[in-house]
Amino acid sequence: MPRKFFVYLFLFSIVFAFSCNKQISNVTEDVPIQVTPVGDENSLEIATWNIEQFPKHRNTVKDLRQLITDLDIDVFAVQEITNVDSFTALVNSLPDYDGRVGSAASSYNLWPGVIYKTDLVTLVSEEYLFTGEYNFPRAPYSLYLRARKNNEVFDFHLIILHLKAFGDEESENRRRGAIRTLESYLEAQLANPANDPDYIVAGDWNDLLNDRLEDNVFLPFLEDTVDYMFLTESLLDDPDGFSFIGNSNFRSLIDHIMVSGSIFSAYPSIETRVIKLDEEFPPYLLEVSDHRPVTGKIPVF
């Protein structure tokens, strides 16, 4: 039986127990938030952020409003939205941003979404990929976006993923099958000269890039170093570079950003980092999420 089964089984038990006792722990004093900005004038910042059953706490909307404002990131690809009204309230409280929920991605409410700066980014089109396919518990939410600043225009596809969780054999095989399907789709898109070749795939992939070969679900992408690059590969040597923080014994980097070769070859100096909000805002794990955001800064401007 794969070793990851035991890891995810234990992780699930801890998260489940935490969730069941959430109401007991709900009473906290408001803590001022001031985190270090990530955005700058010359880059387009894309962050993937699993915001854990949003909203998980009575303070979540308020906390995220301040965190998003302080971070000053251009595009947030978010996962695990459970309440559309709360998401709408969050977006409406952010005067510089707009957002959408991919509520057709699944029949249950762990939906993907996007939040983006309106003075910089325009939503051109949107669609869902592989709707109803068994290997995708949530259909990937695909958006075509246009970023414009300083007389520079950067059009790109953003695909927001949230793959099957847990480490049992069936779940791992579903992730493996999903990645094969996605790679075949992207290969066909990149082969068509009429298509824009700039793709960013961001989300909770629920697996490790540096797994041993027999368990590694990412091989279709990792073996094609011309067409694809995981920005998060650069974080593998950082002992504190994990994105999942839900359990201190099993912290791991399972949230990833992958870009197509056209982006990486044009902008090889992309800066990638895990934003350790839990270190700057102590109530983060209780009130916001058990995942840290992961961001890539693309120097397109």
CATH number for the region 37-298 comes to 3.60.10.10
Pairing assessment for the beta strands 271-274 and 294-298 based on DSSP bridges? antiparallel
Which residues contact residue 31 at a Cβ distance below 8 angstroms, ignoring those fewer than 6 apart? 281, 282, 283
> Residue 135: pLDDT above 50?
yes
The pLDDT value recorded for residue 34 is 84
Mean pLDDT of the chain: 91
pTM (whole model) above 0.85: yes
Of 187, 194, 193, 188, which is closest to residue 228 (Cα–Cα)?
A: 187
Q: What is the DSSP letter of 228?
A: E
Q: In what order do the strands lie in the sheet with 255-260?
A: 121-128, 141-149, 152-162, 199-204, 255-260, 228-230
Of 39, 242, 83, 255, which is closest to residue 161 (Cα–Cα)?
A: 255
Can you tell me whether residue 11 is helix, strand or coil?
helix
> Per residue in 41-68, pLDDT tens?
999 999 999 999 999 999 999 999 999 9
> Residue 22: pLDDT above 70?
no
φ, ψ at 297 (rounded to 5°): -110, 110
Placement of tokens 């790679």 in the chain: 183
CA 260/CA 35 separation, integer angstroms = 31
> Per residue in 186-207, pLDDT tens?
999 999 999 999 999 999 999 9
> Residue 3: pLDDT above 50?
no
Cα 120 off chain centre by: 20
The pLDDT value recorded for residue 249 is 79
Q: Please answer whether residues 144 and 188 qualify as being in contact, where contact means their C-beta atoms are separated by less than 8 angstroms.
A: no
Can you tell me whether residue 169 is helix, strand or coil?
helix
CA 138/CA 67 separation, integer angstroms = 26
Backbone CA torsion sign across 32, 15, 88, 139: positive
CA 225/CA 113 separation, integer angstroms = 29
- For the segment 10-36, the average pLDDT, to the nearest whole number, is 51
Amino acid at 247: N
Which residues contact residue 279 at a Cβ distance below 8 angstroms, ignoring those fewer than 6 apart? none
> Per residue in 98-113, pLDDT tens?
999 999 999 999 999 9
CA 121/CA 234 separation, integer angstroms = 27
- For the segment 84-108, the average pLDDT, to the nearest whole number, is 97
Q: Please answer whether residues 71 and 275 qualify as being in contact, where contact means their C-beta atoms are separated by less than 8 angstroms.
A: yes
Name the CA dihedral angle for 104, 108, 114, 115, rounded to a multiple of 10 degrees: 130
CA 260/CA 254 separation, integer angstroms = 19
End-to-end CA distance of the chain: 49
The domain limits of the chain are: 37-298
